[in-house]
Structure 1
Amino acid sequence: MPDLLIELFSEEIPARMQARAAADLRRLVTDGLVEAGLTYAHAGGFATPRRLTLALDGLAERSPDTREERKGPKIGAPDKAVEGFVRGAGVARDDLEVRDTGKAQVYVAILERPGRPAAEIVAEVLNRTIRTFPWPRSMRWGGGTLRWVRPLHRILCILTEADGTHSVVPLDVDGIRSGDVTEGHRFMAPDRLRVTSFEDYAAKLKRAFVMLDAEERAETIRADAASLGFAAGLEVVEDPGLLDEVAGLVEWPVTLMGRIDDGFLDLPAEVLQTSMRAHQKFFSVREPGTGRIVRFVTVANRETADDGATILAGNQRVLSARLADAAFFWNNDLAVAEAGMAKWIEALEAVTFHAKLGSEADRVDRIAALARDLAPSVGADPDAAERAARLAKADLTSEMVYEFPELQGVMGRYYAMRAGFSNEIANAVAEHYAPLGPSDTVPTAPVSVAVSLAEKIDKLTGFWAIGETPTGSKDPYALRRAGLGVIRLILTNELRLPLGRIFAEDSPDLLSFLQERLKVHLRDEGVRHDVIDACLAMPGNDDLTLLVTRARALSDFLKTDDGGNLLSGFRRANSILTQAEAKDGVEYSFGADAKHARDPAEKALFAALDQQQPTIEAAVEAEDFAAAMAGLARLRMPIDAFFEAVQINDDNQILRRNRLNLLSRIRRLCLDVADLTRIEG
């Protein structure tokens, strides 16, 4: 069984597209081969700035022969129907067979297709893949019709047999003919390389200064940067996103450390880091104790005779120019901040938040009022919460945030401190966007929590009021993220907020939206959706902390033997009761009396209920659901014994009604904890 090697060699592919492109090449080729009847053992995709590579092990030598019997019209059907069937099947009418199906005789076409050699199928699939490749952006280069992200220069496509011999899969795409030739590093080893297998290909590329594996390039950069920092007594700021991007910019990473001019070292660390990351793709290097950014790491794509000195000098000149701009913005902004930030706050009136929701100034008014209202519930000072909310959006009109929008809030904190506001207020300004995602840190300081909640609730209620809600995969205003932010703020800080009273009256389904987001959030913790549904059916379901406390306790309880068996007992009791009530036309909801108990198991169940019911009800009242579940667990054995020994539908109607009312007592006690009728399975 041969191995297949494909390389599509081009000008530089944008780093952000490489991983997806390697995955798409693997998917399109393997899907096409399997659809054509070829199997394989393993497939691996790779990407560098100038090449997409796919290696398949254990490819079948040819597709299997196939035989298909296709049933057609009945005997005696109109000629046009038969002729249409013949054309569709691709056979002659004389080749049709007649079969008796037991109900009628029908025409049958026998379609026999011989297998095809792997090379023929590979050429067909790869041709189609290249011509229809799903680049986010592509264009025609030169006079051909092929669209590619950058000019495509070579197609390497070979099959390697077990004995080491190889053959080129013949292919011509827009004048580019396949071969067994690739190239090494653009500058350090540009000569052509003839290869015979994937192992030969990878080894020759490595000798030609090309690391084929993106993960290897990233790890090389990370390790070399860390070593440079350690040698200088410094540490590199971790930046996984930048690491992946830089690994896609080089084929042979050479890591270099440079200095930042002393005149820029007093800029905020976030400004230095953002400027170097956004414009230069530099990693920041800081002092471990102070956190000051004092150096940078850049990654070159080649080794040089002067060990990178010329490259570093050029990078430092460009960086100084960039940081001079940042320093200019910083100094201008400080003048406004030290004057109280009033200029920025006034400027928000000219910044539109949404055409139907007014300006950013209008939004700030709403957030400030809501933050003041929420403050007592989160333990914050109302005046401080309102003051922080009125400052929260001020930095949107600063020069630094205009240049670096990702520094919203971060710069607001620096400016609030310069304006003389307390750390509590300044930190709330910085944290009011948080959490931005499922792994982002959640604010816990009371003023920060009040402002962050107010910002997100205003966003949700506002867009719900104008009918701009998420649909399907579309969420242009990041409302799902805002909803998750509200959930995480409430749960992390164990807040008791009745959201139904906080949301606007014209947003009736907003609570349902948050509850659905909560299901997703809790599912990651292992809490099943039906468990959450059982708790959503209970009073107080707009109190997310109460809801989650109940759901977690129920989830843990149902994972135990006692929980599973009690659930079975509840279902049995509920089923018998439901049928009896439907038959009798009455509700058995009270009146169970121990004096009518006859069987010892029946008497024992009365005793157990009398003992546990006060404990369970008190635990539910105290919102100690774990204790309530424990009380229910102690009923498991008496309930099991009761069903084992007692016949509910006794001929004696007094005993029957008493036992049905006893089942009602069990049902009501369970339903006071959670709606167990919603539990699946």
Structure 2
Amino acid sequence: MAELLFEIFCEEIPARMQKRAGDDLVKLMDAGLKAAGLTPNGSRALTGPRRLTYITDVETRSPDVSEERKGPRVGSPEQALAGFMRGAGLTDISQAETREDKKGEYYVAVLQSEGRDTADVLTDLIPSVMGDFPWPKSMKSGDTDFRWVRPLRGLTVLLDGTSLNGITVGGIASDNIVHGHRQMGPGPFEVSNFADYQAKLTGEGHVMLDRDARRERVLDQAKAVCAEAGLDLVEDAGLLDEVTGLVEWPVALLGDMDPSFLELPDEVIRLTLKSHQKTFTVKGADGKLTPNFVIMANLETPDGGATIKAGNAKVISARLSDAKFFQDQDRQKNLIDYYDQLDEVVFHKKLGSVRDKAARVAALAREIAPHVGADPDKAELAAKLAKCDLVTQTVIEATSLQGQVGRWMYEAEAGFDADVAVAIEDHYKPQGPSDAVPTNPVSMAVALADKIDTLVGFWAIDEKPTGSKDPFALRRAALGVVRIIISNSVRVSTLELYLEHAQNHYRNTLFASGDLQDFLLDRLRVYLRDQGQRHDVIDAVIAHGGDDLLAISQRVEALGVFLSNTDGENLVQGYKRAANILKAEQKKGELELADFDTLSGFTAKPADTLAKALTNTRPAIDTALESGDYPAALSALADLRTPIDAFFEDVVVNSDDADERGRRLALLSAVVETFHRIADFSRLDG
């Protein structure tokens, strides 16, 4: 095996694209080498602001390949022989060998394919990989049509210590020259293998090649400069990843800002520093923010970073001054005073303005409030206020603070209500699978109303998600409804909410409530599978019907537990045997069953015992289901196992007596129907 080193050197690659690009490079290079008959081993990628590097071990030549292709029988028609020769690349049938089996002789073409030098493979592969590279965005530069994420500056290809010169991509020819840090070690450096490459770039070149090591250094240095000042870093995983992709040689610096800016909410300060200067915020021992920031420089400077810190402090001061000005301007009015301005913001051209949506949500939140234990007046007020901050200058400048700004503004007013304040901020939640779910009753009412209005509205105008597109995040809205209801044990008929809301606000549209309910149930399926529930158990319960998401979730959990033991599985086998017999009889013709409630006079004792057991069990099941005690319903169902087993062991269903046969089939039908009161057991696997 030989070492292969392939570096692509270019202008700065956006930080968010680097990790994915490294994974894609490994995938594409490995696939190309394997397609050529080679076996890359230990492939990995190094990524940074200006380079993608692929390293692997691979053979220096692909193996020769011998392939046998079986052809027609000797003496076959000319047309068959001609097709065989054409496919095998033969010019005459005499070039084929003949073999013999029990049926006689037949032709075999022995195809020999010589291996290729890996260097030749790479000469073709590298331009192909780079030409088809899946960048989210790319650009042309220079005089060629080649596209790359940023202008290409160099290619280095080393195989077994030999430089493969002359592989040309985008007008750039490969060589064994690499370049280091722009200021601290630009090079150029001539390299002979990966160890040499790593040593020169990490040493004289001042480039940390490994992303994980660079990330660790960024975090360690940031914490260290804070600790020296008796402070703590406010960690931010997203910012850490981004900064890691911006620097080749991390150098942490602790800067200062005007303490008066600490009057701003912490979230405003953190967002401003993060989004504009890619800097970390700092806190003291009391957990409160301090007038400091950590900037990650990309070089060591003679003045110890003083100029860099001063420059960043100047920009941060300007940005925070803007934020303070916007907040002061916004707070000159109460939050409700912005309500009418929402009419100037279009929610959707077919669904009106944001004010229209706020009015719909307020009405629906009032209806939902009793279901979640919230005060209807508070829910209605919170829903009216929830969108008002969208037209404030603070949110216009920093949209990710929507909801939070509204809460801060409302809490600054005299006589604010704490429940309403929390609902203003939390009504957007949950915005993703890892986002927290609202637990305050008023928040729950407004959050549910907001998401349900979105779903009903877009269904009403026939703007539904497709398999690949969901521009209005309707799947996220539906999953939010599911999570809020189940996490907070909310009992509510979602179908009734859809229908009533559509009737009140979308009367002139054709609203497919069943279609929307199916969409919501699909999200419920996803949620329950993520919770570890069996897919067939989920299907069995959902197929039973109902639109109470909490009840469905609890049935799924109870049935899953019931089926996790041997008794439950054995009972299901008895159900399936009864269902299969009925299905077979149905295929013979229309099955006429007697009314179970009027059945009597079973000649076989096991049949009579089963009938009595059903008579006693079904009321207990119904009572448990009405109270939502699904484990109790299944426990009652389990009482049928012994009489069902005894029935199938001793009773022949297809009796010669037609009346007796009918009664026994009716008995089995009653067994199946009893199971179906809980779930559609026919959907269960096994």
Change (3 A) 1:76 1:324: same
TM-score (norm 1): 0.91
TM-fit CA distance, 1:620? 1.9
Structure 2 letter corresponding to 1:141: S
Mapping of residues 399-414 of structure 1, within 5 Å = 399-414=393-408
Selected match of 2:302 from 289, 301, 305: 305
Selected match of 2:585 from 580, 584, 589: 580
Change (3 A) 1:651 1:13: same
Which residue is 1:620 aligned to?
625
Q: Distance in 2 between matches of 1:138 and 1:153?
A: 15
Change (3 A) 1:125 1:95: farther
Mapped pair 1:495 → 2:490: yes
Mapping of residues 73-472 of structure 1, within 5 Å = 75-77=77-79, 91-92=90-91, 97=96, 111-160=111-160, 165-168=161-164, 171-207=167-203, 208-287=205-284, 289=286, 291-292=288-289, 294-337=291-334, 341-342=336-337, 344-420=338-414, 421-472=416-467
SS state at 2:267 partner: helix
Structure 1 letter corresponding to 2:15: A
| C-alpha contact 2:593 2:665 (8 A) present in aligned 1 | no
Any idea what the Cα deviations from partners look like across 1:334-393, whole Å, max 9, x if unmatched?
1123xx541x21211111111111111111111111111111111111111111111111
TM-fit CA distance, 1:204? 3.2
More deviation, 494-503/521-530: 521-530
Which residue is 2:571 aligned to?
566
Which residue is 2:508 aligned to?
none
| C-alpha contact 1:123 1:169 (8 A) present in aligned 2 | no
Q: Distance in 1 between matches of 2:353 and 2:625?
A: 46
Q: Distance in 2 between matches of 1:246 and 1:450?
A: 39
Q: Distance in 1 between matches of 2:493 and 2:326?
A: 44
Change (3 A) 1:92 1:581: closer
Which residue is 2:61 aligned to?
61
Change (3 A) 1:288 1:394: farther
SS state at 2:45 partner: strand
Which residue is 2:33 aligned to?
33
Mapped pair 1:536 → 2:578: no
Structure 2 letter corresponding to 1:37: G
Q: Distance in 1 between matches of 2:195 and 2:614?
A: 73
Q: Distance in 1 between matches of 2:596 and 2:98?
A: 70
TM-fit CA distance, 1:69? 2.8
TM-fit CA distance, 1:582? 4.9
Structure 1 letter corresponding to 2:413: A
SS state at 2:9 partner: strand
TM-fit CA distance, 1:614? 4.2
Q: Distance in 2 between matches of 1:608 and 1:232?
A: 78
SS state at 1:497 partner: coil
SS state at 1:336 partner: coil
| C-alpha contact 2:256 2:291 (8 A) present in aligned 1 | yes
Mapped pair 1:517 → 2:513: no
Structure 2 letter corresponding to 1:526: G
TM-fit CA distance, 1:66? 4.0
Structure 2 letter corresponding to 1:113: S
SS state at 1:179 partner: coil
| C-alpha contact 2:156 2:174 (8 A) present in aligned 1 | yes
| C-alpha contact 1:264 1:327 (8 A) present in aligned 2 | yes
TM-fit CA distance, 1:290? 5.0
More deviation, 106-115/284-293: 106-115
SS state at 1:426 partner: helix
Q: Distance in 2 between matches of 1:560 and 1:529?
A: 17
SS state at 1:77 partner: helix
Structure 2 letter corresponding to 1:529: H
Any idea what the Cα deviations from partners look like across 1:451-473, whole Å, max 9, x if unmatched?
11111111111111001110111
Any idea what the Cα deviations from partners look like across 1:549-597, whole Å, max 9, x if unmatched?
1111112222222222111111001111333355473125515868636
| C-alpha contact 2:540 2:683 (8 A) present in aligned 1 | yes
Q: Distance in 2 between matches of 1:568 and 1:137?
A: 56
Which residue is 2:551 aligned to?
546
SS state at 1:297 partner: strand
Structure 2 letter corresponding to 1:168: L
Change (3 A) 1:168 1:397: same
| C-alpha contact 1:269 1:293 (8 A) present in aligned 2 | no
Selected match of 2:636 from 611, 631, 645: 631
| C-alpha contact 2:69 2:88 (8 A) present in aligned 1 | no
Q: Distance in 2 between matches of 1:677 and 1:249?
A: 57
TM-score (norm 2): 0.90
Structure 2, unaligned stretches of length 5 or more? 504-510
Any idea what the Cα deviations from partners look like across 1:77-131, whole Å, max 9, x if unmatched?
39xx95x987776553577659899999999866432111222112211121122
| C-alpha contact 2:602 2:608 (8 A) present in aligned 1 | no
Any idea what the Cα deviations from partners look like across 1:57-84, whole Å, max 9, x if unmatched?
2446324324353869973439xx95x9
Q: Distance in 1 between matches of 2:268 and 2:218?
A: 23
Which residue is 1:555 aligned to?
560
Question: Percentage identity across aligned positions?
Answer: 45
TM-fit CA distance, 1:610? 5.6
* C-alpha RMSD over aligned residues: 2.9
| C-alpha contact 2:38 2:58 (8 A) present in aligned 1 | no
Change (3 A) 1:265 1:3: same
Selected match of 1:672 from 668, 677, 683: 677
Change (3 A) 1:589 1:30: farther
Structure 1, unaligned stretches of length 5 or more? none
Which residue is 2:654 aligned to?
649
Q: Distance in 1 between matches of 2:584 and 2:597?
A: 19
Q: Distance in 2 between matches of 1:222 and 1:320?
A: 24
Number of residues paired by the alignment? 669
| C-alpha contact 2:60 2:119 (8 A) present in aligned 1 | no
Change (3 A) 1:621 1:174: closer
Any idea what the Cα deviations from partners look like across 1:493-523, whole Å, max 9, x if unmatched?
1111101111136132111100011111111
| C-alpha contact 2:71 2:84 (8 A) present in aligned 1 | no
More deviation, 149-158/516-525: 149-158
More deviation, 178-187/601-610: 601-610
TM-fit CA distance, 1:637? 4.2
